[in-house]
Amino acid sequence: MSFATVPELLASAVERFNDRPAIVTIDRSESFAELADAVGRSADSLRRRGLQVADRVLIAAPNSPGLIHAWLGAIWAGGVPAAVNPDLTQSEIEYLVDDLRPRIILRQQDLDAIDVASSHPAAGPPMLEPLSPAAIVYTSGTTSRPKGVLVRHASYTETGRSFPGWIGLGGQQRLWACLPLFHINAQAYSLMTALAHGFPVALTPKFHASTFWKDARRLEVTSVNVVGAMLEMLAAQPPVTWVESQLRTIYAAPGPVPEQRDQLEKRFRIRIVTGYGMSENPFGCVESRSSRDKAHSIGSPRQPASGAFQNELRIIKEDGTDAAGGEVGELCFRNPVMTPGYWSAPEITQAALRGGWLHTGDAGFRDDEGDVFLTGRYKEMIRRRGENIAPGEVEDALCANPAVKAAAVFGVSAGLMEEEVVAVVVLQKAGSLDEPALKTWAASRLAAYKVPGRIMFRDSLPMTPTHRVARDQLRREYGHPGD
């Protein structure tokens, strides 16, 4: 079984595609040869700043060619980059610095300097193992803080080679990365696919529903990846915002129910493909012919274009046995390129990779045609604006206020598996704090997407017989806006 590293994929792209456009923005274009040159300069600059093999590089910056240069440059130099949300607060960044112990920290203002730091030819990459970690992607889990997923070189390269076949992209394409490059989606499905197939990847700093279709036309893109909530935002825009473009395929995870999908496809003259993936295993699932018209189905496990291995799926019941057809259990994957675990978190790694299978925390079942359906999450994660939020992290921020005695945070459905963050708070003294003041407090400690949309106050929190907060009871009581 032979896999490629990310530097090998880039070197192959330069040899095969050389002068073709690689990175495109509204006002500039960069060829594969120019991309490789910029990556080499970034690698050289990072080495001269002390970067050694396996050292971590923390990068907090919005989408830009400079971010790609620095991220790939760190990998080229043998380092392990971790791109993170630039909108995180200082305390959130400080936690990541403490956890990651990076050799180098880069913010937006540092990227341009790195891009021009070296004028002589850069050294080649060190000897790297395809199954060693290429990068770290931070994602929230059931603990109160984000955890760093180790992503193998081969996970990136095999995903990039396979993605067009998964969603039915044929011929020459121009991909659009409007999702952030600190996500596995933009890294593996957009950037790595571009390197593997010679597709240009168009970059925008953020997704904007009001200008989405005009941006698509200006960038001349043919395919884009979104999260489900973005489709809802596009559907809510007035008809005048839509303009004809070359955009024909939207990959959505999660996707809309078939009836809504059909309406969107007709309205926007596009094709929507539904899938399921995660930082730990970008392979996941993708819709099949039989699953396309089944609500809440994510299709079947997607396989590598190379045929080098099988992406296996088991659905395991709580007693550890395999679920029968139609029976709900936990989705568990196994393949040789999935994550080896989490950075500096052996206990979490051991729990997630029991018996060689990746336990996703997602509940679902398989029907008699082999299609997989999601029914919910075993974990308590909240999904908002395409981000996973750990309730404990938000609770910690709220309880840091001296007026707060206790807090329970949970998600309630806001459509397309998007959730609203809701908090129920017990104060030390009734009436000593109101909702706007506590939201302001939370906003000073949390990124905007983590701040609760609603905060309710009560005298005490309901508890289960095992002395845990009865989140299900709270979710039933406060499950709808305005309740």
Closest by alpha carbon to 291, among 172, 354, 371? Answer: 371
* pLDDT average, residue stretch 382-391: 79
* pLDDT average, residue stretch 264-293: 96
Q: What is the pLDDT of residue 439?
A: 97
Q: How confident is the model at residue 118 (pLDDT cuts 50, 70, 90)?
A: low
383 pLDDT more than 90: no
278 pLDDT more than 70: yes
320 pLDDT more than 50: yes
50 pLDDT more than 70: yes
Burial of 258 (0-12, 13-18, 19+ CB in 10 A): middle
Query: Where do the H-state alpha helices sit in 101-171?
Result: 108-115, 153-167
Q: Point out the least confidently predicted range of 271-280, 415-424, 430-439.
A: 415-424
57 pLDDT more than 90: yes
Would you call the peptide bond into 391 cis, given omega within 30 degrees of 0 as the criterion?
A: no
Q: Rounded mean pLDDT of the chain?
A: 92
133 pLDDT more than 80: yes
Q: What is the pLDDT of residue 470?
A: 83
232 pLDDT more than 90: no
195 pLDDT more than 60: yes
At the fourth CATH level, which superfamily is domain 383-477?
ANL, C-terminal domain (3.30.300.30)
Q: Point out the least confidently predicted range of 14-23, 333-342, 388-397.
A: 388-397
Give the Cα separation of 183 and 162 in Å (integer): 18
Give the Cα separation of 253 and 388 in Å (integer): 13
Q: What is the pLDDT of residue 56?
A: 98
113 pLDDT more than 90: no
Q: How confident is the model at residue 117 (pLDDT cuts 50, 70, 90)?
A: low
418 pLDDT more than 80: no
Give the Cα separation of 70 and 41 in Å (integer): 9
Q: What is the pLDDT of residue 15?
A: 98
Answer for the pair 228, 254: CB distance below 8 angstroms, yes or no.
yes
pTM: 0.86
Joined together, the tokens standing for residue 39 give: 């990556």
Q: How confident is the model at residue 1 (pLDDT cuts 50, 70, 90)?
A: low
Closest by alpha carbon to 156, among 85, 81, 86? Answer: 81
Q: What is the pLDDT of residue 121?
A: 63
263 pLDDT more than 50: yes
- Which of the two residues, 299 and 473, has the higher pLDDT score? 299
* pLDDT average, residue stretch 291-303: 94
Looking up tokens 């830009």 gives 64
Q: Are strands 382-384 and 387-389 parallel, antiparallel or unpaired?
A: antiparallel
Joined together, the tokens standing for residue 376 give: 């919910």
11 pLDDT more than 70: yes
Q: What is the pLDDT of residue 482?
A: 41
Q: What is the pLDDT of residue 384?
A: 82
Close Cβ partners of 42 (under 8 Å, ≥ 6 residues apart): 69, 70, 72, 73, 74, 76, 114, 115, 117
